[in-house]
């Protein structure tokens, strides 16, 4: 069968790549065309658009780039018509994907959504678009199935979280070799800095994170460079000898890290799955934050706390994201009680996520639902 997959971010590229592998394993004739990144292309998808061309963060940034977004929507529709897929699979990236889904449904394409838009966090009214345009939804967070069914009468499939597979299937890391290759002091514990995957995020977060390096000289600060950004972008931040930089090796870094400072997003859950104590940080431009504050109804912003439904990791948001607060919380997860409590809670989190095999389950259901349509 022919599959058309649309992902618009680095995390979507990761999950999309594992889904492609699962589809190809179960459907030997799978022909896959995709929007995503290098990982999806390496997994066997024909890459149409790279997510580096698509990633805009915040309401203001989206408005400033509307012309390019509309051009991409038009091109996407034309490309789908030319390819004529048996199934379209949307991965997160809701602003773009829900627009395409409405059009796709009108043109009688089979629509599948893998990794739900976070309508439980904001703009819950999007449920009407989802119910009208999505044939099958495959969710990865344990509370989402109940949210859709009980609150909105929409049946969805819970397949478990694909990060469990992505982490479990990694080759074993040789720490000594990793440190040597990346010129990381073999005698210093590592504090990982995960400042986000978009330029706007990194510019808002990283300088303040790095300001702590002179206060924690017994530790090595290592920046995890996002695959969506070029190394040259980070050079202005690399002025301290106590700071190292790696790119496309975030999981290797987390494997051997003692603590982490993490920009809110998928990275908070990834850090937890590696059982690394963390402080979650988030700061947007003033306009975007004011808009978000009025439409997001959640008590927490990190996936860890949302899944656990309690504060497991400290969240420093907007005006609370200061050097004083960050230093205080970092000390607590390095040597205070917060460290042990987080690690214990991570074990419970992993249990809640439902076990391995998400990509395999999602692929199987997509194939079955397409064949029986």
* Dihedral-angle region of residue 123 (phi above 0 means left; psi in -120 to 50 means alpha; beta otherwise): left
Q: Which residue has the higher pLDDT, 65 or 365?
A: 365
* Average pLDDT value for residue range 289-298: 54
Counting Cβ atoms within 10 Å, is residue 363 exposed (0-12), middle (13-18) or buried (19+)?
buried
Confidence (pLDDT) at 204 = 84
Residue 294 has pLDDT above 70, yes or no: no
CA distance 234 to 229: 8
- Measured at the CA of 319, the angle between CA 315 and CA 325, to 5 degrees, comes to 55
Confidence (pLDDT) at 328 = 95
pLDDT tens digit sequence for 320-341:
999 999 999 999 999 878 899 9
Residue 216 has pLDDT above 90, yes or no: yes
Average predicted confidence (pLDDT) for the chain = 90
Looking at 38-52, 143-157, 281-295, which range is the least confident one? 281-295
Q: Which residues contact 55 (CB under 8 A, 6 or more apart)?
A: 8, 9, 197, 198, 228
- In this structure, what are the phi and psi dihedrals at residue 225, rounded to the nearest 5 degrees? -70, 135
* Average pLDDT value for residue range 10-14: 88
**Which of 235-244, 272-281, 350-359 holds the top average pLDDT?**
272-281
Residue 246 has pLDDT above 90, yes or no: yes
pLDDT-based confidence at residue 285 (cuts at 50, 70, 90): low
CA distance 233 to 189: 26
For residues 165 and 358, is the Cβ–Cβ distance under 8 A?
yes
Confidence (pLDDT) at 241 = 67
* Average pLDDT value for residue range 175-199: 94
Counting Cβ atoms within 10 Å, is residue 160 exposed (0-12), middle (13-18) or buried (19+)?
buried
pLDDT-based confidence at residue 296 (cuts at 50, 70, 90): low
Best CA proximity match to 318, nearest among 360, 342, 288: 288
Residue 58 has pLDDT above 60, yes or no: no
pLDDT tens digit sequence for 133-165:
999 999 999 899 999 999 999 999 999 999 998
CA distance 79 to 267: 32
**Domains of the chain, CATH where assigned:** 2-160+357-371 (3.40.50.2000), 168-352 (3.40.50.2000)
Best CA proximity match to 124, nearest among 103, 155, 94, 99: 94
pLDDT-based confidence at residue 54 (cuts at 50, 70, 90): confident
């Amino acid at each position: 069968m022919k599959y058309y997959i649309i992902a618009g971010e680095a995390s979507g590229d990761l999950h999309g790549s594992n889904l492609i592998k699962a589809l190809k394993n179960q459907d030997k004739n799978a022909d896959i065309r995709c929007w995503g990144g290098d990982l999806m292309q390496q997994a066997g998808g024909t890459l149409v658009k790279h997510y580096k061309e698509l990633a805009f963060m915040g309401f203001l940034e989206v408005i400033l780039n509307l012309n390019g977004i509309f051009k991409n929507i038009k091109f996407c529709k034309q490309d789908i018509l030319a390819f004529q897929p048996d199934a379209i699979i949307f991965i997160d990236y809701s602003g773009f994907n829900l627009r395409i889904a409405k059009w796709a449904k009108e043109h009688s394409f089979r629509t599948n959504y893998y990794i739900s838009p976070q309508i439980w966090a904001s703009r819950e009214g999007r449920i009407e678009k989802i119910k009208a345009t999505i044939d099958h939804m495959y969710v990865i967070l344990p509370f989402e199935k109940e949210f859709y069914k009980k609150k909105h009468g929409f049946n969805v499939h819970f397949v478990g979280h694909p990060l469990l597979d992505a982490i479990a299937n990694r080759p074993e890391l040789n720490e000594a070799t990793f440190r040597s290759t990346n010129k990381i002091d073999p005698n210093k514990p590592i504090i990982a800095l995960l400042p986000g995957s978009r330029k706007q995020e990194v510019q808002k977060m990283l300088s303040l994170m790095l300001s702590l390096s002179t206060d924690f000289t017994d530790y090595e600060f290592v920046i995890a460079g996002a695959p969506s950004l070029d190394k040259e972008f980070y050079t202005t931040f690399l002025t301290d000898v106590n700071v190292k930089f790696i790119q496309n090796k975030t999981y290797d870094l987390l494997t051997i890290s003692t603590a982490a400072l993490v920009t809110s997003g998928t990275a908070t859950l990834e850090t937890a799955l590696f059982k690394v104590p963390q402080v979650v940080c988030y700061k947007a431009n003033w306009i975007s934050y004011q808009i978000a504050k009025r439409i997001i109804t959640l008590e927490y912003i990190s996936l860890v706390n949302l899944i656990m439904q309690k504060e497991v990791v400290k969240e420093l948001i907007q005006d609370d994201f200061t050097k004083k607060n960050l230093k205080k919380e970092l000390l607590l997860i390095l040597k205070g009680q917060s460290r042990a409590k987080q690690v214990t809670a991570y074990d419970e989190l992993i249990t809640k996520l439902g076990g391995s095999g998400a990509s395999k389950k999602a692929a199987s259901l997509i194939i079955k639902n397409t064949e029986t349509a």
